[in-house]
Amino acid sequence: MIAPRSWVLVAVIALAACGPSAPGTTITNVRIIDGTGTPAVAGSVRFIGDSIVAVGDVRPARGDSVIDGGGLVLAPGFIDTHSHHTGDLLDLPEALGAVSQGITTIVGGNDGSHAYPLAAAIDTLGKVGPSINVAYYAGHGTIRRLVMGEDFKRHATPAEVDSMKVLLKQELDAGALGLSTGLEYDPGIYSDRAEVLALAKVTAAAGGRYISHIRSEDRDFWAAIDEIITIGREARLPVQISHVKLAMLPLWGRTDSLFTLLEAARASGVDITADIYPYPYWQSTLTVLFPARDFADRAEANKVLREIAKPEGLLIGNFAANTAYQGKTVAEIAVMRREDAASTLMGLIREALAWEKANPGRDGESVVATSMDEPDIVKLMQWDQTNFCSDGSLDGAHPRGFGAFTRVLGRYVREQKVMPLETAIMKMTSLSAAHVGIERRGTIAPGQFADLVLVDPATVIDNATPAAPHLVSTGIMRVWVNGRTVWQDGKTVASRSGRVLQRQER
């Protein structure tokens, strides 16, 4: 559905006014893939300051800096619609994990969690000056906890929902793209559909969008899909499924059933879309494996290990209570502890929660869990309304933080020929921009911001692995953000040219 008012995402830092004859930069001898999905064309791209002024048969102007692209592909900067790179951006403003894989814009505030208050977060980040553009959603979980405190393991009262609406409106007024939920996580898992719908309606009234880590990606998947479709229909706003997946063995092979539901919803007027990262394993906490939050339920533990992730597919990324477990699977830890895998799984959660209780505000554990089937991933990628994302971070245990986009280009486009290069880049750029409401980014055309990536399609590949998640990719030759280089010759360039993007009324 189209929101009742028209909004545009603009940069906090104003567009510099430059005439087309002023000295600029011309990138020559490139194959231009403009982000629209159309075939590559040979030509040049010229930009002045932060904006593209000419594309195609372009000659450098007097005084221009001229860059020979060597016949490589020049694409729009990649837009990561579901990112956690923002979490470490204050300490790592050059954003190595992002820019090295061609990402020029990240969208934070996902999974129902954002830096509160958003206005202060934007101000702080603006002072640091990151190397990439950043936009935010407002997180339902953050707002819910502010209102309900630690008494969140229940449905909210009408008065509490009203208080959440006030805080959400504040964050939307500060420039949030819309509302995000993480309905498999505390505290969002304890909300009912009516609470989320009420907040979605506030978001719609402000011209915002809704993005959701849906309530279940495994046992109650179909009910969760029904919930997000219902929210889109009743709140009358665009809705996006975060990192869409079929994360349970009994769901494998049922992508066509999912597509039938999504296409029917779209045909009825619900603007539902999705993003995806190209891995069969996710990263979260062990606790998310138990939706009833009964971590002593042995039958449930056995079900998890039988149908969701095998013991050898649960790789511990962080375990503060005993760092010797980090980098080992639940199967390996069970051998170390001389017990069965279910006992180990329950014991690890018990020990991590005890550590967190003694260390409030700190995370005691994380896991990289293999739950998805490769043929499903490929089919989900190919859906017309799926864009690519990373769901990654700058200092995380999952390789997606350093390799999601290059993995698509190398393994799925070049090696497996899952889709044409132009289609993949469209799903990283213009489709991404459309799905989160970003304008003037995502395509190469006059008037667009000069967020650009020079890619060698013959060599581009991810190198990060679960064992070495921070290895940078190969084949991303140069990256520009707002007309300034941030990645070149395998190194970050501290231009700090990124901007905080806000949704504002046109």
Which candidate, 488, 289, 310, 281, places its Cα nearest to that of 369?
A: 281
What sections of 372-494 are H helices per DSSP?
374-382, 400-407, 421-426, 430-436
pTM here?
Answer: 0.94
Q: Are 504 and 175 in contact (CB under 8 A)?
A: yes
Helix, strand, or coil (residue 454): strand
pLDDT at site 21: 63
Using left for φ > 0, alpha for ψ between -120 and 50, and beta otherwise, residue 394 falls in alpha
Note down pLDDT in tens along the chain; length 506 residues: 333 333 333 333 333 334 556 789 999 999 999 999 999 999 999 999 999 999 999 999 999 999 999 999 999 999 999 999 999 999 999 999 999 999 999 999 999 999 999 999 999 999 999 999 999 999 999 999 999 999 999 999 999 999 999 999 999 999 999 999 999 999 999 999 999 999 999 999 999 999 999 999 999 999 999 999 999 999 999 999 999 999 999 999 999 999 999 999 999 999 999 999 999 999 999 999 999 999 999 999 999 999 999 999 999 999 999 999 999 999 999 999 999 999 999 999 999 999 999 999 899 999 999 999 999 999 999 999 999 999 999 999 999 999 999 999 999 999 999 999 999 999 999 999 999 999 999 999 999 999 999 999 999 999 999 999 999 999 999 999 999 999 999 999 999 999 999 986 42
Q: What is the DSSP string of 251-311?
A: GTT-HHHHHHHHHHHHHTT--EEEEE-S-SEEEE-GGGG-TT--TT-HHHHHHIIIII--G
Phi/psi for 204 (5° steps) reads -60, -40
**CATH superfamily of the domain spanning 78-283+371-436:** Metal-dependent hydrolases (3.20.20.140)
d(CA 270, CA 236): 8
The residue ranges of every structural domain in the chain are 7-76+441-495, 78-283+371-436, 284-370
Q: What Å distances lie between residue 294 and 41, 191, 205, 299, 452, CA to CA? A: 57, 18, 38, 11, 48
Q: Are 378 and 412 in contact (CB under 8 A)?
A: yes
Fold adopted by 7-76+441-495:
Urease, subunit C; domain 1 (2.30.40)
